[in-house]
Structure 1
Amino acid sequence: MSLPPAAGTDGGAPPAPTTLRVLAVDDEAPALDELVWMLGRHPQVGRVLSAGSGEAALRVLHEQQVDAIFLDVQMPGLSGLDLARVLARFAAAPPVVFVTAHEQHAVDAFELNVVDYVLKPVRDERLAEAVRRVAQAVEGKEQGGAGATSDDESIVVELGGVSRLLPRSDVMWVEAHGDYARLHTASESHLVRMPLSTLADEWHESGFVRIHRSFLVSLGHIAEWRTEAGRTTVVVGGHELMVSRRHTRALRDLLVRRAQPRARGGG
């Protein structure tokens, strides 16, 4: 049984992409100039402001409004981590992306709920991914919570020796690997040092449900479910996952309740 499409996907022109006004912060002039230049080349970035220190960044923020901050971590005086902690107390803090040569601060970044963690030397495609995440966060705020939002939890993952922050909203399903869990997105997967049971407890309120002792899935990413000869499966991101008998009824009830309001409103 296929589930109805999400609201807003049944026709009409796609919304115009968000044009961002961003602030780049780095105490090293060559690195700052390069970051400003790279950000300025991105089609979703309309204007790039710059600051050579954390203190200068605060002065800019008191005078002008920005949509996001691309911030070095290790700076004399007010460090990037210090500045991020100050920004966390703002009533409407702009999303923060750390741009740094030091990957050991990824856990601190995770605790500060920054949008992304980009390692130097910065690659165009990696910076483009960070801009995409920022745009999602900004659009989510403007739409009152649609898409990725400022309270969308992130988790530190590693890919090719690079630490990064993965928003929970990107995760489609999770697979148990002993004391580890593998997070699956639309295009990649990441192994994290956390048991599936812990994620199931922590992410339950965010729409993740246990369908099997080995699988945790995001309700919003279930495309269809199938029942044949007493065997129930769901399709998530093109993958067919087994639903255990003990979880079948609860999952079916959740999916039916999720589909009913849309069915009534669909005409």
Structure 2
Amino acid sequence: MKKISCIIVEDEIPAAEELKYILSEYEFLNVCAIAHDGENGFNIIKSQNPAVVFLDINMPIKNGIDLATDIKEFNSDIEIVFVTAYEEHALEAFEVAALDYILKPYDEKRIKNTINRIYNKLAKDPNTEITKTINKIINKLDNTQNAIQKIPCEYHGKIILIPLEDIFYCYTENEKIYVKTYNNKYFTNYTMNRLQKKSKFFRAHRSYLVNLDNIKELYSWFNGTYKLVMNDMETSEVPISRNNVKKLKEILGI
């Protein structure tokens, strides 16, 4: 089994060494580096591109929340596990799509639960025949110069190529990516970042990409956010994060 690469970013040296020791008990994990501040940590992460980063929040130079945002912008597939002594940052951790949030002092049983989540998500062999086939199609499409016109998806054991114009939105649910058409949804191996680059869909929210050609209406929701109402069978509603409202209004000319 290929080991899962991990990096620890923790400004307290004893805490970093303790966490490294705990993680070393799991043979499928490989702690390949430790950084003691956010800036150095980000440089290491960019050079090594690990699968998982265990990240403190209160650190010098760059705090953990800001670093997590930078990590997700660099590579959204990197899993973030916060390790902190403070409960009050849990909502912020959720907003940057952290895999887990562990409180200090370390509880080995609690960490074991986190490691199980990492194992289930990253270490189990995903290479079913249909997944292999979809990945081959994706890689072939990625190597073409022209923007793709269809997204390969899985549906009831079959591979279906969904035309971009038939897609209303793409979204994340239970750590999987789905493509929503007028009356159905399909699983895809594309990440949200890859879908955005290939389709040019609008990033309404961290968890949603929207085909603006298939919007029915939008309305003000709360605290500066909006919701899009899609023109699909269910008239689905898609949230727009506050940071993206201005950008959408500029695109729509409103």
Using the size of structure 2 for normalisation, the TM-score is 0.48
Structure showing greater relative contact order (alpha-carbon pairs closer than 8 Å, 6 or more residues apart): 1
Using the size of structure 1 for normalisation, the TM-score is 0.46
